[in-house]
Structure 1
Amino acid sequence: MTETLPGIFPTPTSMQLNGGTVTLGTSVVLVQAAKTDAETVELVRQILSNAGVTRIRTATHIPAKLDQSYIVIGAGNSAILRSAVGRVKAALPTEKEGYTLASTVEDGGNLTVLAGFDGDGLFHAAQTLRQLAKRASFPAVRIHDFPSMPVRGTIEGFYGAPWTMQDRSAHLAFLGRAKANTYIYSPKDDPFARDKWRDDYPAATLKQLGELVHQAERNHIDFVYAISPGPSVCYSSPADLQALRRKFDAIRGLSVRTFYVALDDIEYTKWNCDADKEKFGPASDKAAAAAQAYLLNAVQADLASGNAAGPSLIMVPTEYYNATESPYKAGLREKLDPRIIVQWTGTDVVPPAISIPDAKAATKAFGRKTLLWDNYPVNDYAQSTGRLLVAPYARREAGLSSELTGIVANPMNQEAPSRVAVMGLTAFAWNDKAYDAELTWHAAARELASDDPRTTAALLTFFDTQHLAPTFGTQPWQPQAPRLKAVLDHVREALAQGDAAARKAALKDLARQADDIANAPDIIRAGVADKGFVAQSAPWLDAMQRWGRALQLTAAGLSAADEGSGTAQPFFADAKRMADEAAAIRSIPGATRFEGPIKIADGVLDLFIADAPGLIATP
């Protein structure tokens, strides 16, 4: 059997072929070293079962001669792990969240070792095994892996309909598979986290949040609770500080250890109470920085409870959207406890790119390395109306890991479609220097398609029609439908400049592309196991199907015109009617902050269908 280096996402820090092919067979011996949590053991057992293993025996040691498949799992530095790692010619991991996964094939059997530096690292090793074991046999490899950034994940921080608890549960499982480690609960429309932040949560809601926290723990995700008191808080009020303490104490009772205070999207040149004017002076951006630091430093002191190594509070400042020097940033830099982590969205609210110099400028402005709040793929602003944002995660510079404490994505109101871009972000945050946007985009499609090639191809066709990534300005930072545009441009060129054979070949390609677009929605509906993705994407799939049919009719009209047939015009008329139907489909009511007509490859597909009747003279 030919051995090829497997594709693992995120890309490991180091991966080499180790010689030979591992075939697990139907029986595996599992050797469990010390410091192995029950959830990870169960995950490994499930992976083996999915790989066709029907019998799993346990043992306490590895025999001198390997007579079948052995798997050793554990975290730390136990004698069993040291011996096993040496046998597969690897080394124990030395970095936080790091792991070693290595196999050897000998004596008619095989040995695979999953060694984590800590419990998180071992969980990540299991996720790598999950990818390897999708095939009945996989190449023996030697992987040494650890994350580039300490914080990787998402912030549910968008406006509009928040995710359901089921959405959040599914998302936490996805984050675990993607080797993320952070989920920030900060829905703008949770009244008890913003408008009614002083009030206690109802018992039923608190119970649901507790279940989410446990789900996060099972997936080795740090559940971060965020509160947004800015619209009404009195920074100098002992009563408001006590209200924050009481709210955090209730959430701490759910086993949450990391907290966040959001001060974004508020007015900071007026006070909410006279007491703040008396303590900090007339309202101004500089005075606001002093007031915010006063309150946040008190919260940080509570969290640390005298322990200098205690958890760091996270905050998002009112000026979160650039790194330009200002009195506000200078005030935070001077007065904010250095332990507090500051979030920053880049050079703009929705930045077209983020570079190392940008991040260095933010470090200088805020007096510490920042945690990037990346407003992609969020679609809660007017320029994103009617769009799913599923282009690859791109235009973030390799090397940002040296200038940031981490990255979290602000996803869409549609949880499952958000995973396409979020998988790219988590892969970038894990290993930014080896990140490949296109390959990871393909991997995200395969993940949704459960590795079915036909469904994967249909998803990539769908993603191409939703490739445009807007900003708050007029120019998008990623183009719409680049693959489709290349086909349509080729057709235009062939009709304008080609001979008869070239025209026929181009029109044949166009017909195939039209079929792919028209057929993709049904393939996706049948092939994507996650029905949340299908439901949340429903109007886009419906519109795509109609646009595909319109393109099929357009292709038929062009072919008829090329042959001099009088049937071309009826085809074009039917194509226009179908396109009008497609353009009339609207987003799901209440799902997003801005509602409107669904966009499918707009500016590319619609223009071609409109222009087609004039591309060839008809009888």
Structure 2
Amino acid sequence: MTLPDLGIIEGFYGPLWTMDERRALVRQLGAHGYGFYLYAPKADPYLRRRWEQDHPEHLARELAAFAGFCREQGVRFGIGLSPFEIFNRFDDGARQALARKLAFLDGMGIDELAILFDDMHSDTPDLARTQAEIMHWVMAHSGANRFIMCPSYYSDDPVLDRVFGQRPDDYLEVLGETLDPAVDVFWTGEEVCSREISPGHLRRVAGQLRRKPLLWDNYPVNDGDRMSRHLHLRGFTGRPAANAGEIAGHAINPALQPTLTAIPALTLAQSYGQGEDYCYGEAFRTAAREVVGPDLAEQLLADLLVLQDAGLHRISEERMASLTAAYGEAEHPAAREILRWLAGEYQVTDEMVQTQ
């Protein structure tokens, strides 16, 4: 079967990855059909709360070099910019600041640009039309080849209404009617972290948006106070290969652990490639052996219930010592990520989520 346009969105809360970690993930996943990488970590303040400021020169050079590396691997590089609550006041000052930022991003050599309106409060009466207007302005002032938008309400999940205010009536319909058809629109499914995403649901959303949605899949991401206590390692489920014909692409928001995230990421490509023959357990074993080698893959399989299901808060002192000893003997980046997780170094607090 033909793979959809697969991608990686580095869009989580929590600690930043290193450039070496990003390169390793791109190299591995690019060989399996992943075609784009969107850099949008919540911990990069120059893309969110301090978006009007340029990245410091050394960081800008590193990002430009990473963009070049992605292209060498056949992977498109993009930036996800969250101009914080700009839709509440898109005046001349905001336009000038945004024009400067877009020119700065063009200088990095980006292929794709996403404007992310998610996780922000709005007091704008005509929100969808205002956001479409901003997107059209961005398209006229950016040299990117592809434009993506994440709407304020990017899921049916009522949690968005509770946290950010009641969504306007017909928000998706107005956005679909007003927004240039060339702009892709991110969508996470029926929930922010969807257990299942079905062709029927995608067709309904496509009708509202007047375009096929671009999936922003919040698996295997594990940010947040609760989720960061668990490692998301299992193969993808609830994403049938039939979805491929209903979407503009499928991008995953990765786990906090860059090496381990490659395991479920590889199973997504297997799921689309194998169709009805896909078996998520076997896909996990195949992917784990490729990413960490046969011995460590068997260790992960043996510990899967503890690492993914029980989580840090339910590991006894005795089991903690056993796990630390087992992974301490393995000379592999994935084992080091597990040791860091066991030590609590990947814990994401509510304060981090509220301030990043």
TM-score tier (shorter): 0.7 to 0.9
Q: Deviations over 1:344-386 (max 9, x none)?
A: 0000101111111111111112121001011111111233142
Counterpart Cα distance in 1 of 2:217 and 2:109: 27
- TM-score, structure 1 length as denominator? 0.50
- Does structure 1 conserve the Cα–Cα contact (< 8 Å) formed by 2:266 and 2:287? yes
* Pairing 1:379–2:222 present: yes
Q: Aligned pair in 2 of structure 1 residues 343, 469: CA closer, same or farther (>3 Å)?
A: farther
1:203 is matched by which residue type in structure 2? E
Counterpart Cα distance in 2 of 1:449 and 1:424: 14
* Pairing 1:345–2:219 present: no
1:559 equivalent in structure 2: none
Name the structure with the higher helix share: 2
* Pairing 1:416–2:259 present: yes
Q: 1:174 aligns with which of 10, 23, 28?
A: 28
* Pairing 1:394–2:196 present: no
Aligned ranges for residues 120-139 of structure 1 at < 5 Å? Answer: none
Counterpart Cα distance in 1 of 2:310 and 2:149: 27
Counterpart Cα distance in 2 of 1:197 and 1:262: 12
1:594 equivalent in structure 2: 349
Shift of 1:459: 2.1
- Does structure 2 conserve the Cα–Cα contact (< 8 Å) formed by 1:525 and 1:534? yes
Counterpart Cα distance in 2 of 1:261 and 1:432: 32
**3-state SS, counterpart of residue 372 of structure 1:** strand
Shift of 1:406: 1.2
Q: Deviations over 1:291-342 (max 9, x none)?
A: 11111012223447xxxxx833101000101299942112201211111000
Q: Indicate the larger mover: 429-438 or 224-233.
A: 429-438
Q: Aligned pair in 2 of structure 1 residues 408, 353: CA closer, same or farther (>3 Å)?
A: same
1:594 is matched by which residue type in structure 2? T
Structure 2: give runs of 5+ residues left out of the alignment. Answer: 159-167, 351-356
Counterpart Cα distance in 2 of 1:407 and 1:347: 15
1:534 equivalent in structure 2: 335
Q: Which has the higher contact order (CA 8 A, sep 6+)?
A: 2
**3-state SS, counterpart of residue 415 of structure 1:** coil
* Pairing 1:440–2:283 present: yes
- Does structure 1 conserve the Cα–Cα contact (< 8 Å) formed by 2:328 and 2:336? no
Q: Aligned pair in 2 of structure 1 residues 448, 204: CA closer, same or farther (>3 Å)?
A: same
RMSD (Å) for aligned C-alpha atoms: 2.8
Q: Aligned pair in 2 of structure 1 residues 369, 154: CA closer, same or farther (>3 Å)?
A: same
Percent of aligned pairs sharing the same letter: 27
Aligned ranges for residues 153-552 of structure 1 at < 5 Å? Answer: 153-232=7-86, 236-268=90-122, 270=123, 283-284=124-125, 287-303=126-142, 311-322=145-156, 326-429=169-272, 432=275, 434-450=277-293, 452=294, 454-468=295-309, 524-527=327-330, 530-531=332-333, 533-538=334-339
**3-state SS, counterpart of residue 114 of structure 2:** strand
Q: Deviations over 1:217-258 (max 9, x none)?
A: 121111111100133455532442343333222222232121
1:414 is matched by which residue type in structure 2? Q
**3-state SS, counterpart of residue 338 of structure 1:** coil
Q: Deviations over 1:482-524 (max 9, x none)?
A: xxxxxxxxxxxxxxxxxxxxxxxxxxxxxxxxxx999776555
**3-state SS, counterpart of residue 264 of structure 1:** coil
- TM-score, structure 2 length as denominator? 0.85
- Does structure 1 conserve the Cα–Cα contact (< 8 Å) formed by 2:87 and 2:127? no
Counterpart Cα distance in 2 of 1:199 and 1:233: 18
- Does structure 1 conserve the Cα–Cα contact (< 8 Å) formed by 2:219 and 2:254? yes
Counterpart Cα distance in 2 of 1:459 and 1:176: 24
Counterpart Cα distance in 1 of 2:114 and 2:81: 6
**3-state SS, counterpart of residue 248 of structure 2:** strand
How many residues matched? 335
Q: Aligned pair in 2 of structure 1 residues 538, 323: CA closer, same or farther (>3 Å)?
A: closer
- Does structure 2 conserve the Cα–Cα contact (< 8 Å) formed by 1:231 and 1:267? yes
Counterpart Cα distance in 2 of 1:148 and 1:431: 10
Counterpart Cα distance in 1 of 2:199 and 2:175: 22
Shift of 1:166: 2.4
1:65 equivalent in structure 2: none
Q: Aligned pair in 2 of structure 1 residues 216, 239: CA closer, same or farther (>3 Å)?
A: same
Structure 1: give runs of 5+ residues left out of the alignment. Answer: 1-12, 14-146, 271-282, 305-309, 471-479, 481-515, 543-585, 596-619
Counterpart Cα distance in 1 of 2:177 and 2:310: 37
Counterpart Cα distance in 1 of 2:288 and 2:324: 14
1:343 is matched by which residue type in structure 2? F
1:301 is matched by which residue type in structure 2? A
Q: Aligned pair in 2 of structure 1 residues 518, 469: CA closer, same or farther (>3 Å)?
A: closer
Counterpart Cα distance in 1 of 2:327 and 2:286: 16
